[in-house]
A and B are shown apart, each in its own frame.
Chain A
Amino acid sequence: MEPFALLLDTLTTTPSRKGKLALLSEYFRAAPDPDRGYALAALTDGLFPRLPLRRSLATLLETRVDPVLYALSRDYVGDTAETVALLWPEPTDRPPPPRLSEVVTAIANAPPSEIAGTLGHLLDRLDTRGRWALLKLVGGAPRVGVSARLAKTALAEIRPDTAAHAVGVSDIEEIWHALEPPYTDLFLWLEGKAPRPDAGGKPVFRPLMLAHAIEEQDWASFAPEDFAAEWKWDGIRVQIAAHGGHVRIFSRTGDDISRSFPEIVSAFERHDVLADGELLVARRGVVAAFNDLQQRLNRKVVTGKMLKDHPAHVRLYDLLIVDGEDLRELSFRERRLRLEAWHSAHGPPLTDVSPLVPFETRAELDALWADAREASIEGLMLKRWTSPYLSGRPRGHWFKWKRAALTLDCVLMYAQRGSGKRSSYYSDYTFGVWREIENPEAATGPRGDIYPGHELVPVGKAYSGMTDAELIEIDRFVRNHTVEQFGPVRAVEPRLVLEVAFDAIFPSPRHKSGLAMRFPRIHRIRWDKPAVEADTLTAAQRLVANAANALAR
């Protein structure tokens, strides 16, 4: 348990990806089986189903810690697991600490009524760091800034240089969902001591074929007859694997997200396919904005209300395997025909096929692209008719052509320090647009004096898009124009205009302005533009209305 606790603790303060990778692969190399396998499970899919942790902790603390001191401490620390770890009474003579595998077995085998007691015995054997790690482990995903993909990437690095074949993260992803903790056979394979584990009959993830953003030089050799066009839908890319009554929905990185979308799982239950598509929220055939889909992502429990208010839908665009026949070697044109034929014969409910967008000439294509204004469309996809399905991001086959970003001129309101390499810079920016003050008496927004009768309302936050040189300039501006400081955040004089680019804008009751942006980034710094000439909330709302009108057309 101690090496794992040290790993988790060190990861929380290691900002760089490289540093995290080094720590992880060092651990995976050094830790014995089955401990490292359980650690891997904890960092990827989670180790335990939901345990009654809160109740167990309450039971445990009752007899050991004074309730008033606990409450004062909890208020100060701000995190229950950490508070308990810190004020757990230190035994005078601590028994030797358990191994991670012992911890996992003990908790997994404890009947619900004995979870608290088991946890108590384990806590008595651990030091502060170990207790913290244990409680994080039991509480679900330990948030230490490591994605499942990063953990798998580190795993690929433990393969010795002497092994016959190098292993990439996609090789691991492909068999991942057929494996189970503690992943002993996976480690043996990675260390070159055993063959690659067999996926057996279970539905598994096949790494996706990804598109490149189209660039100027790609257009030079572009021939309209060589390419099919489809709309680029603003949902999330999924792969649906259905086989032998089991259905899995995988995200583009191979995370299993089946649990959040039970209706899609049951739609595919009687099928035997591996299909690519876009996961969307659609109401009566009309695709909703990405924000609607976001309400459904990362939900462990899906309520009936959610299913009704935010119904999921899959828009299919490729067929990889059907009834055991692997189509990946076929051309896109042939796969497309097979997809259409299969769907019209057996199409599961809650699915449709992404229509092809017909075009004859480059000029027609340009016009289609320029007119795409619906919130649910991000642009166009161009796919070479002759391309087989190739995992990864091969050049020259698939292109994405995102429509031009929307922009607004916003005023910088708050700046926050970044982390890691950027910790000495103010690199996260909150910006706003002007709103007319209806009732000047009750005005609460900052600085009506710059633009009389108007106040700024925040419309978004961005921390990318600027060059390193621009970052230094904005940092200097922030320091020289601070009006107030709250911890790592500074409020600045409303003077600097930032041209902000974003992919979409939609209504959001959670934000003060009533609007939220998708993927906002700093497009340009308008040192030349007076703040009073920045955009208004009305202009921002007009962009939302344009998207809605386009949808209605």
Chain B
Amino acid sequence: MIRVSGLTKIFATGTKAIDDLTLEVKQGEIIALLGPNGAGKTTTIRVLSTLSGFDEGSVTVAGHDVDVDPEAVRCAIGLVAQQTGVDYFLTGRENLMTQGHLYRMAKADIEKRIEELASYFGLTDALDRLVTTYSGGMRRKLDIATALIHNPSLLFLDEPTLGLDIKSRQSLWQYINKLNREQGLTILLTTHYLEEADHLSHRVAIINQGKIQVIDTPQALKNSIHGDAVMLTFASQGPDVGEFTFAMHEDPTVQNVVWQNDNLYVYVDNGGEAVPRFVRLAEEKGLTIKSLSLAHPTLDDVFLKYTGTTLEETKEEEGEEWWHQWAGKGGGGGGKWQKNWEKWQGQLEESGSDEDKAGWQAQMQKWQGDDATTAAPAATPAPETPAQSEAAPAKPGDWQQWQQQANASGTPVETPEHYREEALKRRGNRQADGKGTPEQGDWLGGQDADKNDNNK
């Protein structure tokens, strides 16, 4: 249905909005582009729906090249953009009618289709009312209905539930699901809610800085995080509890078991399946569970894993855009702290004296030591923490995350050398790409170095 290869789009400002993006969407599939604001999701949709041009690559939508035959593409697709493009001073019916005329449909066909769509979306009663009287959810539905007026085989939804309350959101999900199931509509949607991607899509593409970082089923993505955390608190602390803990260790699906503040944290692949089993086991052992909670991986966790940054960090960077511009950057790249840190590392590596290096390693070990003491409690209260610890400046936050991941996935705790290697690996990648390292004294003004960062 969609075949995109090597798609690159550079804005007039020099920002690379889409960077060598390759994507294939099969007929009848719901695919979600998941990423933070500014990741290139909307731009991708605009290119696919012929609204935007692009610089490199080839894009085929519904069997037609968007550059060669945009008209044919337009006839085959429907687009629901982020802004509700319905006219507020027209009635629902008039909106649908106008859109039908734009697709050059016969009047009778449009009228028939309007009845169909209105009853499908439950808008029949509101059809002859002005859109100004509609609620946000109704407007969205009307918006989707106008996009479907010409029976497209492919539907683009750009942040379809943005700004809707939970009830409208869930109702919209049902409609989207039904459209796909009953009418075989292929749907490409963008979102920054993991929940939405999870609920709706067959496959999720995590997109950041104009690139698809990973594409897989939502379940596979979440499973790759290894870490639903089940927290159990028992009424008593007898030997039975020890037995229970031991049984947990024996369980093949359990990744890790941690005791913390009289709470038992069990990390499993699939928490939903594990909880009933744990409860049964506890009952068999005659234990009373005082409380039990289950925490799933969040978007932050998945995102962290595949992009090396958290959503928080990306947001922070957006807020600092003025700074980037001032420093001659076009956006992109990691956070400010990360860049400076990496530059410092580069300087040390190239020019630092032995004492410097030794001091650096000592510092590294000290931080690592701090992490070892703080990471355990930090790791246990479940997946929200990576985001919080990320708020801490510079590298130690990253270490905590690695540590947490290590804890959660049950692999042995790495040595300081591991972190050092990791840091060097990251920097090395950049060097290997031929991007060079920042020059000495190149703290702030180094435009070239910054550009290199951006090209990463």
Q: Do A and B truly interact? A: no
- Interfacial residues, chain A to chain B (CB-CB below 8 A): none
- Interfacial residues, chain B to chain A (CB-CB below 8 A): none
